[in-house]
Structures are given as structure tokens and as C-alpha cells.
A and B are shown apart, each in its own frame.
Chain A
Amino acid sequence: MDHAPEVGPRVKPALLRAVVLLAAGVVLGPTVLAQRGSRSFAVSTDNQPYDGRFTFVRMSYTTAMSFGRRGGGGAAWAHDYPLGEANFLKILTAVSNVPANLDGTNVLAFDDPEMFRYPVIYLVEPGYWSMSDDQVTALRGYLQKGGFLIVDDFPYWGWDQFAAQISRVFPNLEWKDLDVSHPIFHSFFDIESLDIVPAYPALGERPIFRALFEDNNPAGRMYVVANFQNDLSEFWEYSETGSYAVGETNEAYKVGVNQFVYGMTR
């Protein structure tokens, strides 16, 4: 399997999607099926009203086709929803004193004004992500004012589509690869190594953490962190089942906690 170029020549998005769709059934289908389950989720799917507490916000978007699950349904943005965040919140509140809303989580669109009440937002499957012009403007304003976007569940082939969307938001900003010395890896836990095992091979060779900074200044404020070739929420979702090794699951939680605490406080 080819590695997706870190920052290489672009393949036409339409052709890429076609290839991906074909491969999806061969490679990812069994994985998806394996992921399907008859688990019932005792988490409210209604958005929580703002009350000042940290609320997990997953961003929704329009995709060309359904993929993955949403409570049994299919939008890409809903991959690992709602159990991924539900489990994550349990861990977050267990290890830290983040004042989190445990009554439920939120799903918002990029053009929903409510987004601005939550300074940390979460996006998955960016390879299927597209935005309207209004949403681009909203996201730009959100990030410039102090918001923070975490992008996860990010297979290698999704980079071009994702980068294309982000370049509409910030045409002049460039992605920087992070190393373990960056403060985001020490905002709560001290992450000692970025040699993290990906949840499954289809994501890519190894996880790479990329970030977009204000004014392209790596010492400055981070707008976006992308868990490229990684899927933290996969670990979160299945942490109860033993599907993944404890050590790797722990690392996924640690990175996740760090990213959310970082976004809330820096």
C-alpha cells in the first residue's frame, strides 16, 4: 500500500475517491462489518444546551455517500459515534478535573452559530469532508478567534481532500509535522514517543501529527491538529471490548486527553 505523500503532488480528488470506494469494499468492508455491532448506546443523541461546561462537539458535514455508522446509520462524520466520545469523556473526567458535561455530547454543522460556544471541536474522516463557502468563512473566524479543531480517524488517502478544504480556510498557512517536544504532547500526560501503532493498517504506515499554526509560527498558537494516519476514536470506542491492546488504547486516550486539554487551555 502506497504511503500517502506527506506533502506531495495531488491526485485528482474525483479519481482518488473512485479508487477509494473500490478499495473500501475490499479492504475496509470486513473491518466495518467487524465494527458493526448490536451495542446499544445509553448516550443522549440530543444536543446539550450550553452551560459553560466542556461539551464534546463532533462536527457534521455533507458527504457524497454514507459511510460508517451513525447510530446504525451511515454518515462519515459519525464514525465511532457516539461511543467513542462517551468513553473518552469517562476517561477525561477520571484522570483530569475538566468540568465536562456527561449528560451528552453535541453534533454541530460548521455553519451553526452554536459552534462558537465550544472552543474545541472534533472532526473525523476528513477525506469525505466538504464545506460550503459560508462554512469556510465560519471555520476561519472560529479558529482565528481562538477555537481549536482536532481532526481524527484520518486514513492516508484522505489528506488531499482534507488539505483542499483547509486551504480554502487558510490559503497561506502550511502544515507542520509535530515532534514529541511540542507542548501538545505534554499538556497533561507526558508523551514520550510518537511511535504509535495505528488502529488498523488501512490508515497508513505510521501516525503523523500535523498542525496548522497562526502566522505559520510553530511556537505560536495552534489552530488545527490532524491525527494523520491515525484513528484515536477507534481505540476509544472499543476500549471496553479488548479489541485493541491495552497499551495502545492507553496511548490513544493519552493523546486525546492532551489534545483536548491543550485546545481548552492554550
Chain B
Amino acid sequence: MFESAFRFLFKYEPLVFEQGQFVLGATRSMWLVALVAIGAGLYVGWTYWQVRVLQGRPRLILLATRTALLLIVAFTLLRPMLLLRVAVPQQNFVGVLIDDSRSMQVADQGSGTRADYVRAEVGTPEAPLLAALGQRFVPRVFRFSSSAERLQAPGDLTFQGTGTRLGDAIDRAREELSGLPVAGLVVVTDGADNAETTIDQPVAGLRAAGVPVFAVGVGKEQLSRDVQITRVETPRRVLEGASLVVDLVVSQTGYAGATVPLTVEEDGRVVSTQDVTLPPDGESQTVKVRFKAGDAGLRTFSFNIPEQANEEVARNNRREALVEVRDTRERVLLAEGEPRPEAKFIRQATATDDHLNVVLLLRTAMATPNAPDKFWRGGVESPDELQSGFPTTREELFRYQGLIIGSFEAAAFSPEQQRMIEDFVAVRGGGLLVLGGARALGEGGWSGTPLSSALPITIQGVARDAILPPLELSVRPTREGQGHPAVQIADTTAGADAKWKELPTLFSVNAAPVASLKPGASLLLSGLDRSGREQVVLAWQRYGRGKSLVLPVQDSWLWRMHASMAVEDTTHQFFWQRLTRWLVDGVPEPVMVTVAPDRVQPGEPLTITAEIFDREYRGINDGQVLAHVTTPSGRIEDVPMEWTVEQEGEYRARFTPTEDGLYRIAVDGVRRSGEATGRGGTSLRVGASDAEYFDAGMRASLLRRLSEETGGRFFRAGDTALLADAISYSGRGVTVVEERDLWDMPIVLFAVLGLMAAEWTTRRKWGLA
């Protein structure tokens, strides 16, 4: 309606004014006439000023109206006009890109699907939109989804594409049309791009080539009734029997507040069910999902919410994740500086976990002038292990995945050992946990050491006496700790909440106020002392490639031994098993292999990346590395990998799977010296994905950005009447300059009439001639 009114008043569409260049077309003589008119106007004004009969408001009004009239006359005499560069009919090409992906099957365009609209408007040369374009341009029609190609026949549109790569489609069209006069690209799509890369590069290419995009957005920006599992973050590998807590993001429209069941299946077997209350429309909510990893092997976990009544898209209610469940035994070195129960009970708690081996290096006597430190070793795998005490080489220390340091003062470690401890986290990627005790943390003189850099809390000052009497702390999980896998003390949230309230207090002899938490560190457990001051009980942070935790209490074993804890109570065992598993979770191995993207279809290439380290976790750059790819049919292909040069120890290769199913990739190599590297691997599932059904709403913002940054314009489906004009007036391709006069706009006439009426009314009111 606005456009109609605008056209009525201003003679042309707003588009013409947007694209046109305003000029005054008067000849020299007309300039003279105009000047005379302006001079006359000034004379009129002066004469009015002299007339004493007129005073105040009437004088001003009459002066203004008469002056305005003369200005309008002068303006029209100057011949105002718009210059437009208009595409010459049939001299320019227009690329028409039609989205042929599965998301176009969504039934939210009018009374039909998006595909119905596309077929109706551009599906055939006679279709209205394509016909309108055909009258002025030479259309070249493409269809695109994961790839783009020329549309040979209307029947080629199947809307079965399992991906949408808008950027690739644009590049393809631009390349095919390069060298031709192109007025623009028309992209008919819902914009639900799910490519790994952004459209920045294609947009830059279009701008460089001067090709504008006119995007036609099909479908609703937000579906009316839809529940979607937007994202699930699962670890790539876990230990057998691991209790997992994963973050699952759910969003919805049309079902706000409803409670729906969320089911987790492992290879088709239900392993967990919980109820989820859906968030408000359009909002996302993160849900903590708990389940256990079963037997070792590659497992597919699927997360499902049943289809809801009248739901527009049901295929986005399910997400799958491939997880490698490992039957390995992770080794953790527990270095304890003095005989005390904490180490005993940690080993007792973890002894029943077949996937953890906590090796204890216990100092039982301190060095004297005549004798070195005395140690007892528990859980060692060979008589030589830790024979000389704490490791003195990186190779020896980096054999462990986790390191726990108890009440062990800094002075007991050489400067090189202290640096090794820091590198254990930062370089090796190990998990470090520092316990509280009289010889730990600041009290143990660790301030200013490399280890203190790795810790999630700041420790200050010189070695000092432990806090005695110790601080008695009531321990509770923080908000972040409540769902964290490291501090699960029961199988359910409700069970854990109840237990936390019943646990006995713990004691700390170390100053670790919450204020000492470093930026970026996370507080999982806190303790309140008798004065109400809050202390850190468990905090962690990422440090380099690894993670660093601090547990500045000295007697978590009270959660086992305290008189109030029943013999059958498993809190302490759960806590330490899960904390220790999380400590070593994700710790890199000497060869780490990843693929990107992690889900492709047959024929789509992917990149295999391997990080290869020596025993000191220094990158190996001189390896002849091969990726042994085992296809679902059992065939093995050896793919050579090249060092990337950008990063120490990083190798890459491209591979294109051709079969549906599970691929396994194993990487190993040989160094120039002939020494073999380690071996690592990964897996991926190749096949059609349901990515098209996720976030299937029309992406108006993306399409608008694509259009505006290239000098084009965004249209909504059903509102494309001016599309052909917009392309014509874009000034691209083969164009001719047209003049559009403005002096005869209806609004000029209305303005003149309006001013005359105002003067007449004023005269009448004031009784003037």
C-alpha cells in the first residue's frame, strides 16, 4: 500500500529514487528564467514587508506561501530529474539459483511447501517470476544443495539435497557466468545454509566482480510449531563404564512450557530417559543429560524427543553422536609428600575402577645430609617405575595421563621438575590436580613457581605455616558444579542434591578464598567456613593443551570414614572415580587424529588431520605418515599425509569417501631415523544427514546481508513484483542511461494547490484583499 501511494504521489517506485541519480536538467536560458523568478520572489517579499496593514502572523503566512510558490516554480523550471542506468533488455544475463535441498519440503509457504512455491514461480520458463525475468534478461538457471549445477529441465528439481552450500553455489554460478554481461544473481532459497564455511569469500568475489545478488527468501523465519534438538556436545572418546553428563540444547516454538520425554539410545538400546520442560518460544535451553557408556567399541548414541502434535518438522527431534568407548587403563601418578589418609582413600576409591590405575609415590621420610628422600611406591607396573622418586625426565612423567600432587612442598622438586609439571599440563595436555595440605599450595611455597601459573587459583606469599586450627567447610556444588561430570556423587540430580546436604564438613589448612580464583577458571565446589566466608573447594581451568584442578582440602576421606556415612555409602568412591576419570578425559595421546567435517555424504571430500608427538610430546616434523582408511566394505586405502608446516607435528590429507557406512582411519608413520611413530585413529560415519531439517527457518538476515553487501536487494516470497525492475535499475551489465522527469510529479501540483489554498484561507480569515 505504501508503494502504491508513493507511486501515485511521486510518479515512480521508491526503487527508482533509490537507484537514480538526482540532477537538474535546465538549459542555460532556463537558469536565467529561474534566477529571474527567484528575483521576483525576493521583490514580492520586500513589497509585502512594506505593507503596514499586514502584521504578525498573517504577514508571515502570506510571505511564506507566496515564497514557496515561487520556489516551486523555480524548481520546476530547473527541470529536476533522475538519471537511471537501466539494463538493456535481452543484453544481459541473470543467474537464477534455485535451492533444491530437503529443507524446501517444509510446508510453511502459504498453504503449501516451499518447494511448491518454487515450482510455481520459477520451476518452468513460463512460471511468473522466471517469465518476468525472461522478458528483460537472459536467465541461466541453476539448482543447488550440497553442490550446484545447471538446471536442464524442470523435473531436475527434486528437493532431496542433504546439504545447503550457498557460498559454493554462488561461486559456481559466478564462475560459469564470468565473461558474460551479468545484471545480477537471483537466489531463491530459504537460506538454511549448513556449510562449514561462511559466505564471506563468495560475497567478496561478487563485490569484486560487481555482481549484485537479489535474494528471494522462501518460508517463514520462524516455524510455528517445532521442537528441535539444536546441539549435543559429547566427548569423542570415553572410558568404558563412564558416567556421562552431556549438554543438550533444545529449542522450540509453539509448545512453550510443555514437558516432553528425552530418550537416549545406545545402538538402538534405551540407556536413559528424562523429562524436559520446553523453554519459551524461540529460546534455547541447555539440558544436562545423564547416561552411562556401555561396553567398549564404537557406539552411536542418539538423543530423541518424540514428534509432537502438529509439528511442522519432526526430523530435527533427533541427534546422533559417534563415541569411541575405550577399554583402556588410564594411569595417574599421585605424588604425596607425607603419609596421610587422603592418598590411601583415593587409591581405595579408585581401586575398583578397572580403567584407572592410580600409582602412588609416597614420601615417607625427608632427605637428610646422609640419605635422600625415602619413598614407597604403590601400583607400579614394573620394579623400575619411579625408582628414583618423582620423575626427572619428561618422557617418564608424560607416560601418565593424570598427575595428582598432594601435600608436597615446592622445595622438594628441582626447578626442572617444576617446569616439567607445568609442561605436563600445557604441552603434554595432561590433567593436573593439586590437593590441599600443610605442605601444599602457598603454605608449601608454591607461589611464583611454574606450577602456580597452571593453577586455577592465585597463590601468593612465601611458604608459611598451615592454618591451624583448620577451616571447617560445609561443601556445596556451585551452579556450574551441579551438572558437571567431575563432581557427580549420585546417578540422578535429585539424589546428588540430597547427598550434598548430608555430607560431613571437610577441613582446609590452606588459604584459598574464592577471590583467588583466576579469570577464566571455573568454581565447581565451594565451602563456607564458620564465619560465612567462602573458600574454593574444587576449581579448574584449561591450561595449554590440558586442564588443571585444585582441591584445597586435606581430608575428603571423611566422606568415607565419618561416623555419619554408612558402610554402603558410595559417595566418596563415586566422587573420586568420576573426578579422576574427568581428570584424564580427553588427554591427548602421542598420535591424535581428527576429521573435518565429521559427517559427510559419499562423494564429499573431507580433511584428515593428525597431530604426531614424540615421547616428550614434541611435534614430529620429519615423519613419513600414512592414513590407513578402512572402508565399510573392508577395503583399506593408504593415504599419504603431508606436514602442514604451520604447526609442529601436524599432518593433513584429503580423502573422499565413496561408500555409505562406518570408516575407520588409523595413522602412523616412520621418522627419518627409521624410528616408528605412535599410532592413533578415529572413525566417522558417511551417509546422508538430516542437517537440512535443523534451523530450517528462513534466514532473512543472511539473505539480506548477502543482498545488501553486493549491492542487491532482498525480497520475500510472494512479494517479488519489483524484482525484475530492481535488477534492471541496479546499473550492472549492459545499461543505458534514462532520464526520468520529476517536475510533473503529482505531488508538485498538490503542493502548488495546497499553497494557494493556504494563502486564500489566510486572506479570508484576516479580511484581506
Contacts and interface: CB of A to CB of B under 8 A. Distances in A.
**Same complex origin of A and B:** yes
B297 interface: no
A52 B507 contact: yes
B679 to A, nearest CB: 35
A49 interface: yes
A261 B339 CA distance: 7
A49 B470 CA distance: 11
Nearest to A138: B563
Given A115-B563, A117-B562, A145-B565, A264 B341 contact: yes
A146 B366 contact: no
Interface stretch (A72-80, A91-99, A173-181): A91-99
Which interface class (under 10, 10 to 19, 20 to 34, 35 or more) fits A? 20 to 34
A169 to B, nearest CB: 12
Contacts of A54: 339-340
Nearest to B337: A97
A116 B569 CA distance: 15
B147 to A, nearest CB: 64
B742 interface: no
Contact of B470 (A52, A114, A265): A52
B519 interface: no
B468 A97 contact: no
Contact of B561 (A96, A119, A221): A119
A261 B375 CA distance: 12
A171 to B, nearest CB: 16
Contact of B344 (A51, A96, A117, A146): A146
A261 B557 CA distance: 17
Nearest to A188: B364
A141 interface: yes
A218 to B, nearest CB: 17
B376 to A, nearest CB: 7
B238 interface: no
Contact of A99 (B348, B438, B557): B438
Interface string A184-207: 000110000000000000000000
A96 B339 CA distance: 9
A68 interface: no
B560 A145 contact: yes
A144 interface: yes
B157 to A, nearest CB: 71
A51 B365 contact: no
A264 B344 contact: yes
Contacts of A147: 561
Contacts, number: 93
Contacts of B340: 52, 54, 98-99, 264-265
A37 interface: no
Contacts of B566: 141
A142 B338 CA distance: 23
Nearest to B555: A52
Contacts of B562: 116-117
Nearest to B439: A99
A13 B186 CA distance: 104
Nearest to B509: A52
Contact of A264 (B339, B560, B564): B339
B370 to A, nearest CB: 13
A146 B563 contact: no
A264 B407 CA distance: 15
A113 B563 CA distance: 5
B362 interface: yes
A12 B525 CA distance: 56
Nearest to A141: B567
Given A97-B337, A261-B339, A146 B561 contact: yes
Interface in B341-381: 341, 343-345, 348, 360, 362-366, 374, 376, 378
Contacts of B634: none
Contact of B365 (A50, A96, A113): A96
B548 interface: no
Interface in B411-441: 438
Contacts of A115: 563
Nearest to B438: A99
A266 interface: yes
Contacts of B554: 52
A51 B469 contact: yes
Given A99-B338, A187-B376, A266-B344, A145 B567 contact: yes
B558 interface: yes
Interface of B: 337-341, 343-345, 348, 360, 362-366, 374, 376, 378, 407, 438, 468-470, 507, 509, 554-555, 557-558, 560-567
27 contacts: A51-B507, A51-B509, A54-B340, A97-B339, A97-B364, A97-B366, A98-B340, A98-B364, A99-B338, A113-B564, A114-B563, A115-B563, A116-B561, A116-B562, A116-B563, A117-B562, A119-B341, A145-B560, A145-B565, A146-B344, A146-B557, A188-B365, A221-B348, A261-B364, A265-B340, A265-B344, A266-B344
Interface of A: 49-54, 95-99, 113-117, 119, 138, 140-142, 144-147, 187-188, 221, 261, 264-266
